[in-house]
Amino acid sequence: MLLKRRSDSGDEHILVDIGKTFREAGLAFFQQKNVEFIQSIILTHPHCDAFVGLDDVREISVRTTIGQPTAPVNLYADEGTIPFVKHSFPYLFPELRQGKGPLSIGTLRHCLIEHFKPFTISDLEITPIPLHHGDQTICLGYVFSQYESATQLVYFSDFRHQSSSHASFDGEVPEITEADYNSFSLFIDPAKSLDILKKKRISVMILDCLRMGPTTPSHAVYNETLKLIKINPSLK
């Protein structure tokens, strides 16, 4: 997901995840949308489809006319994701590069984020919500909101319900009860997560949905995604 923020000092671009198909997607999309640089990257989890495109960070860094990056790209990641990133791309971090390698390879500045603790980029307040994504992985979902706005955007790219009575789509949107709210198994902490989601009206939800069914061990299927949508009061 790419977000553009406009200000008096110019456009700022924020990328959520930078996966293995990033180069192809960037070549096809960025020029069309006049995206020259990315100032910030937010990661959701330590899987290849979320971070291995970082090798191309040189191509999206703010740089001089001769192609030298002039500023690091801010990389927002939690303590569960950043070790995998640094192990895979040590040359992108000055503290690991130790002066070796040309500046033209690009540089990342790690900004540590904490679960449920909002952080700010440009005019956006962003709150990370930890989600189950398979048995061993936590994937961060994000809630984006402008300070003066009455609405928020929800982005949950990878999650699974640990148990579900809806294995496939039967043509009906599943009803959701108060008990469901208190036991949503995709959330690490249902109470904290739902408090954040109900803080403002949700204007946009971008949600994981792998297929119609049957259920999978690490991704939501159609009926599970529909059930989560019912969190949004405007859709009840």
124-170: pLDDT as tens digits? 999 999 998 877 788 999 999 998 888 999 999 888 755 544 444 44
Tell me the DSSP string of 28-72.
Answer: HHTTTTT-----EEE---SSHHHHGGGGGHHHHS-B-TTS-B-SP
Indicate whether 105 and 207 sit together in one domain.
no
Higher pLDDT, 8 or 186: 186
pLDDT of the residue at 180: 54
The sign of the CA dihedral 27, 28, 31, 33 is negative
Indicate whether 159 and 133 sit together in one domain.
yes
Higher pLDDT, 131 or 10: 131
Higher pLDDT, 77 or 225: 77
| Phi, psi (rounded to 5 degrees) for 190 | -60, -40
Indicate whether 94 and 15 sit together in one domain.
yes
Indicate whether 148 and 205 sit together in one domain.
yes
46-67: pLDDT as tens digits? 988 889 999 888 777 765 555 5
pLDDT of the residue at 221: 75
CATH number, domain of 22, equals 3.60.15.10
How far CA 55 is from CA of 64, 93, 122, in Å, comes to: 19, 12, 25
Dist CA 215 CA 166 (whole Å): 8
pLDDT of the residue at 223: 75
How far CA 10 is from CA of 20, 26, 89, in Å, comes to: 29, 20, 30
Indicate whether 104 and 161 sit together in one domain.
no
Looking up tokens 């000055």 gives 94
Residue 80 corresponds to which tokens in the numbers above?
């569960």
Total domains in the fold of the chain: 2
DSSP designation for 148: T
Q: Which residue among 51, 80, 112 closes a domain?
A: 112
Domain coverage including residue 141: 119-235
User: pLDDT band at residue 173, thresholds of 50, 70 and 90?
Assistant: very low
- Give the count of alpha carbons within 13 A of 125, CB side only: 14
Contact residues for 160 (Cβ-Cβ < 8 A; gap 6+): 132, 133, 134, 186, 215, 216, 217, 218, 219, 220, 224
Indicate whether 225 and 137 sit together in one domain.
yes
Indicate whether 127 and 220 sit together in one domain.
yes
Dist CA 88 CA 99 (whole Å): 18
**What is the average pLDDT across 209-220?**
75
Indicate whether 104 and 155 sit together in one domain.
no
pLDDT of residue 235 exceeding 60: no
pLDDT of the residue at 64: 53
Indicate whether 107 and 124 sit together in one domain.
no
Indicate whether 131 and 227 sit together in one domain.
yes
Q: Are 89 and 75 in contact (CB under 8 A)?
A: no
* Among 49-53, 82-86, 164-168, 203-207, the range of highest mean pLDDT: 82-86
Indicate whether 106 and 8 sit together in one domain.
yes
pLDDT of the residue at 74: 95
**What is the average pLDDT across 207-234?**
75
pLDDT of the residue at 118: 97
Dist CA 40 CA 185 (whole Å): 31
DSSP designation for 4: E
Higher pLDDT, 110 or 25: 110
pLDDT of the residue at 170: 47
Q: Which residue among 112, 141, 161 closes a domain?
A: 112
pLDDT of the residue at 166: 41
Q: What rounded mean pLDDT belongs to the chain?
A: 81
Indicate whether 229 and 167 sit together in one domain.
yes
Q: Which residue among 55, 89, 112 closes a domain?
A: 112
